[in-house]
Structure 1
């Protein structure tokens, strides 16, 4: 059977493909099923593993309008002006209780996790519209978009915002034969926790009395303890790409460790899932310390 030329293959552009991340795992999975993959990152030197596999890499800083425009021009030249799949994966996390949240830091999270995705979609819509047999936008949100994890409000809220954009965009782009999929990922082994920038609680935080336990929540230590329940990135990506390459892919994809549990929680009465959220994040230990302090008459 004759192999397809690069110009004949379906194409996918994925943002945030640094080695060791979920974007890189998705790039490999798409490559293995025969797609022409454009893996992108702000720093292309961090995609060495993908380049060694023969995957095409492009520079893309999703926070820069100029960089997005340049990337669109490059893809246009490489493909003749079409794109089958745009997968918005680039993102970052920020842990802090709402009472101590830095608004400026939270805005940066929204800029990256929400507005950069919208800017990228807007720029690539002309190429998606020209794709033969339709196209697809995939927005990588998170199971956290529906599960309110304590001390992760900015991240979870940004993913929830992108999920709502995805729901509305799915309706708005139907007339142009462009599908929109919300990828809600649970626990997957990757470098996201390793790359988490640990910020200390302010000295006057209302949680300071809980000391080390609050710090474990901020550092992600409690979630790292759950990594044994996380799925391998290559297995997760293979399943995701299998879902996305169906003739009629679902509008939501739930994959990753405990993703099914979060999905189930959406059908439960409000508050029924709270105990599990407090346990897995470590908030239960923080509450215990605060209650002990109150019982001992400590000034909070």
Structure 2
């Protein structure tokens, strides 16, 4: 089947994000692309390219059902919608953490189950957008790390379970990519330590770290990342795991190192090694 006859649906395609970059690249490769987001007005850039946009709230079963009803076939489903949450474990809100799991894990499964009949018919592909942190322990990112680790495990298990039906499952571990993800997280979380935090002595620099100053403005261009990812996905067969983005190699190299080295590098990433000097006084 030629690419011009193949279809792909991608969640979380707001302009400036990685979903939009993937939608643009699949479109350039001749796919019929269904780009989705909760708010259609946030996909004006994709609409201008002639890409079909659909409203889809991945946390609403009613919205998911309505979206499925608009498709007659589907070859590739890319679960991309997601969010982060930066906060020390001692200060995190379990309620907020559950919301992250609802979006980063349970919505992926709900959306996949809804589109599975179409994917079984096409013997298609499911792509779960994970992250290099799914196998790394970056401080203050425990909720995000754990949610990505969870979907990574679901991906590998689903790959085995769906293989007899010809459906492929790919986990996409992304490293640093220039996008609006970091900015969005700052706007959502405000990166503020709660009153009474045990990290109060390092409040100023800590909140900068929580806001993502260690990765904002870093990474490879989203277009290059999307080009590489789509090229990987179109391989026959596609890899079970795709590592793309700046320092994505860390996702498979660092877990092989002794824990002492992993810990030191993880602390340095968010400057926890510097905060320790203040906190231990």
- TM-score, normalised via structure 2 length: 0.96
- Hey, what's the Cα distance between the residues in 2 that align with 1:261 and 1:168? 23
Deviation at 1:122? 0.4
Provide the rounded CA distance (Å) in 2 between the counterparts of 1:138 and 1:70.
21
The aligned counterpart of 1:150 is 139
**Residues 1:98 and 2:99 are matched in the alignment:** no
Q: What corresponds to 2:110 in structure 1?
A: 119
Contact map agreement 2:193 2:203 (CA 8 A) in 1 = no
Verify: 1:199 aligned to 2:187, yes or no: no
Paired positions, count: 277
Residue 222 of structure 1 deviates from its aligned partner by: 2.4
Give the deviation of 1:261 after TM superposition.
Answer: 2.5
SS in structure 2 of the partner of residue 237 of structure 1:
helix
Considering only CA atoms, is the larger Rg found in Structure 1 or Structure 2?
1
1:132-211 correspondence to structure 2 within 5 Å: 134-196=123-185, 197=188, 198-211=190-203
Per the alignment, residue 10 of structure 1 pairs with 6
How much has 1:64 moved relative to structure 2? 0.1
Q: Secondary structure at the match of 1:40?
A: strand
The aligned counterpart of 1:244 is 233
Query: Alpha-carbon deviation of 1:263?
Result: 1.9
- For 2:214, the equivalent position in structure 1 comes to 222
Q: Aligned pair 1:254/2:261, yes or no?
A: no
Superposition map of 1:3-42 within 5 A: 9-42=5-38
Q: CA deviation at 1:223?
A: 2.3
Contact kept? 1:44, 1:57, Cα under 8 Å: yes
- C-alpha RMSD of the superposition: 1.3
* Mapped partners of 1:250, 1:72: distance in 2: 27
**Match in the other structure for 1:129:** 120
Q: Which residues of structure 2 form unaligned runs of 5+?
A: none
CA deviations on 1:89-115 (whole Å, 9 max, x unpaired) are 000011100011100000000000000
User: Does structure 2 retain, via aligned residues, the 8 Å contact 1:23–1:89?
Assistant: yes
Deviates more, 1:258-267 or 1:57-66: 258-267
Q: Which runs of at least 4 in structure 1 moved beyond 2 Å after TM superposition? A: none
1:60 to 53, 56, 62: 56
Give the structure 1 partner of residue 224 of structure 2: 235
Q: Deviations over 1:165-185 (max 9, x none)?
A: 001000110111000000000
For residue 75 of structure 1, give the secondary structure of its aligned residue in structure 2. Answer: coil
Comparing 15-24 and 205-214, the one that deviates more: 205-214
Distance 2:260 2:29 in 1: 42
Tell me, in whole angstroms, the C-alpha distance in 1 between the residues paired with 2:262 and 2:130: 20
Q: Secondary structure at the match of 2:181?
A: coil
Residue 87 (structure 1) aligned with residue 78 (structure 2): yes
Q: Is the Cα contact below 8 Å between 2:43 and 2:53 reproduced in 1? A: yes
